Each structure stands twice: as structure tokens, then as C-alpha cells.
């Protein structure tokens, strides 16, 4: 079954009704999409057990990456953004 249209709308509504609107990726409220825990590209399905709420931006940044890899990249990016400059600026 393709992912889109009414099927996606119904499944997203069911995911949000079941799990609430806290994004499983960043932990913030206001999730408005359904993310596959095991991406469809990796053999995951559209079952409710394989879906969790996610913000569109979080969901898009993950794409079809395994969840552990996405989390590791996010931690690395956060650490890099906190790095001190290599030399002082005047």
C-alpha cells in the first residue's frame, strides 16, 4: 500500500489519538505526523505498533535512517554547535 492520501491521514489521526502529540524524536509537544519506528524502506509496516508521533521537521530530518543512527547524528550535531571557537575574536 502506498503511503499518502487518505490512508496516511487516517493513520496519522489514529497515531496522534493513541500516543498524543509529543514527538518521539525530540520530546516536544505539537507533533503532527506519524513516523515509522522501523522505516518502510527497511521492511517496516504501517501498523500502529510501528508508528509514533513526530514533528514534520523531525520526521523529515530522520528520513529512512534507523532510529539509533538518527539519535547519534543529532547528539553529534548538538555537541558541534556547543564547541568553542578555535581562537578568540576581537
| pTM strictly above 0.85 | no
Three-state DSSP at 29 gives strand
When pLDDT is cut at 50, 70 and 90, the band that residue 71 belongs to is confident
CA atoms within 13 A on the CB side of 57: 6
Sign for the CA dihedral angle at 7, 13, 18, 19 comes to positive
Instruction: Report the pLDDT value the prediction gives residue 87, as an integer from 0 to 100.
Output: 67
Three-state DSSP at 27 gives coil
Q: Domain residues of the chain, as ranges?
A: 5-80
Amino acid at each position: 500500500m502506498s503511503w499518502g492520501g487518505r490512508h496516511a491521514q487516517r493513520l496519522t489521526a489514529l497515531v496522534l489519538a493513541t500516543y498524543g502529540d509529543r514527538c518521539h524524536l525530540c520530546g516536544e509537544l505539537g507533533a503532527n505526523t506519524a513516523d515509522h519506528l522501523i522505516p518502510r524502506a527497511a521492511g517496516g509496516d504501517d501498523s500502529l505498533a510501528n508508528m509514533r508521533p513526530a514533528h514534520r521537521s523531525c520526521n523529515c530530518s530522520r528520513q529512512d535512517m534507523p532510529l539509533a543512527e538518527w539519535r547519534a547524528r543529532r547528539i553529534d550535531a548538538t555537541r558541534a554547535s556547543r564547541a568553542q571557537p578555535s581562537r578568540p575574536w576581537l
